[in-house]
Amino acid sequence: MIRLSLLTRGQPLAQARCSIPNHRTFSPSVLNNSNNTRSFSTAWTLRNASNDTTTAAPAKPFKVAVIGSGPGGFYAAHRILKHVPQSSIDMFEALPVPHGLVRFGVAPDHPEVKNVMHTFDEVAENPNFTFIGNTSVGTFVTPGSKKADLEISDLRPYYDAILLSYGAHEDRLLGVSGEQSLKGVMAARSFVGFYNGLPCEQDLEVDLSKADTAVVIGQGNVALDVARILLAPLEELRKTDLTEKMVSILEKSRVKHVHVVGRRGPLEVAFTAKELREMLQLPDTTFHMDQGLLASELERAGKTLDRPRKRLMGLLEKGIKESKPDQPKSWSLHFLRSPLGFTGDENDQLKAIELGINRLEGDNSNRKAVATGEKEMLECGLAFRSIGYKSVGIQGIPFDGRKGVVPNMDGKVVDAEQNIVPGFYASGWLKRGPIGVIATTMADAYQTADTIIADWTSGQPMLNKRSDGASSSSSSSKPVLELLKSKGHKTISYQDWKKIEQKEFELGAKVGKPREKFLTVEEMLKVVD
């Protein structure tokens, strides 16, 4: 259900559409297939982006607050700063360190993807950009949530627009017995955060020494990231920014076999060719899957497959053909299986998963898994739930709990009656759900930024308008910083963050890796005290 807004509702959606002459927008729809995503590389720099549109912005100052410092926030900030010269942006981040899932979600052995952080540094160099770290904004609606450092109502008087881009903080549940009570069962999201150094996940109990078999529920890129971390040669992972805490755990790991389980068939997998290729190239590792099922599904699909899907299926065929049997490690793709429950031993340690066997029904564009009533048991000592991330609403902002997004139209926040909430916008996973890669988020953020720019330049209602149409907000960050100071709250600037990062570089160099991340907020703050 959509949570009703506590804010003043604005004009109907139909009246809110506007455009800028000669203003070309980016739409996430152009990245819906792998061909477009491949060509839209994350290495595409801000210099390349600087000439894609021209905007004659009003001379009056334009003050924007961005909640969240991941790609959805940084890319939108860049576009606004570039095309509205009088704009200034304050970016709020709950942690002392920025970059969101680029820092805490991208796999350690994918450093090329993390290079986008250099691009974000370019944004932060703009004199009209202010990073306000170690400062949470908006208390989550989840019962028992910790009160935020600032509420949305604290920001409203000082900004013309507020962009919500704080991402997805929770994971989806399977809703079966044992998934939250047995030791050895955990969310892939939590595990990824743990090995990437996310402070709030450092209390996760991760013990890889008690079992040789793990199961990952889900067949997306995160699922394969988890499988790869469990099976990859430790000597290779030591060279990455994987935390030393996780390295120590992997040194004691007994995991040799990983099953990656999905409820539908091979044509419906969500992982990409890059992730699959990396799994197939793991040394000393045998690959297993149902060759007959793949052949029959390909025959049924005929010529309806698009090129990226054909390429992906070709990799699976090649993987089956070239896999070396009887290797010390193995990984398997299991299809047409849905978890029905987790079974534990007398010590509440996971020992098996009960799986329901499915069949596929429907046409090629809408294949659905239907239970057959048959069941089987899969023995394992570890299980990772990887069926998607989920955003959480904050107080005072409309939220669609069923979809897990802030309801919006082209980034404009709308309430339950589809009325525009003036001055409020959304980008990234909070806007469209936890799908796509960084390139998708970049295009999505640019679309929202274009919407914000269009609203500002065409005089659409924003926050805090005086009768003469000018903004009543301050042109600096001082009022908000003074408010935080009056509360005795310590903020972190981008310069402070660079000091923290430099210390991480130094610690990493001592053990032959790019960086060694601080695992607690206290350690981070100590660097700049």
- Say how many CA atoms lie within 13 Å of 323 toward its Cβ: 23
- The total number of residues shown for the chain amounts to 529
What is the full DSSP assignment across 415-465? Answer: -TTSBEEEEEEE-THHHH-S-S-HHHHHHHHHHHHHHHHHHHHTT---SSB
354 in a known ligand binding site: no
CA distances from 224 to 72, 183, 275, 287 (A): 24, 22, 7, 13
Helix, strand or coil for residue 163? strand
What is the full DSSP assignment across 305-329? Answer: --HHHHHHHHHHHHHHHHPPSS-SE
Which of 114, 125, 111, 118 is closest to 81 using CA atoms?
125
Q: Which residue has the tokens 């107080």?
A: 395
Would you say 287 and 360 are in contact if contact means Cβ atoms under 8 Å apart? no
Question: Could you say which DSSP state residue 145 is in?
Answer: P
263 in a known ligand binding site: yes
3 in a known ligand binding site: no
Would you say 184 and 382 are in contact if contact means Cβ atoms under 8 Å apart? yes
237 in a known ligand binding site: no
404 in a known ligand binding site: no
Phi, psi of 101 (to 5 degrees): -70, -15
CA distances from 374 to 32, 261, 283, 335, 359 (A): 35, 16, 35, 14, 10
Please calculate the CA angle 95-100-101 and round it to the nearest 5 degrees. Answer: 140
113 in a known ligand binding site: no
208 in a known ligand binding site: no
47 in a known ligand binding site: no
101 in a known ligand binding site: yes
Would you say 120 and 98 are in contact if contact means Cβ atoms under 8 Å apart? yes
51 in a known ligand binding site: no
137 in a known ligand binding site: yes
d(CA 81, CA 20): 16
Would you say 165 and 427 are in contact if contact means Cβ atoms under 8 Å apart? yes
125 in a known ligand binding site: no
Please list, in sequence order, all residues whose beta carbon lies within 8 angstroms of the beta carbon of residue 454, skipping any fewer than 6 positions away: 18, 19, 20, 23, 460
Which residues participate in the annotated binding site for FAD?
Answer: 93, 101, 137, 429, 436-438
Which residues participate in the annotated binding site?
Answer: 93, 101, 137, 219-222, 263-264, 275, 429, 436-438
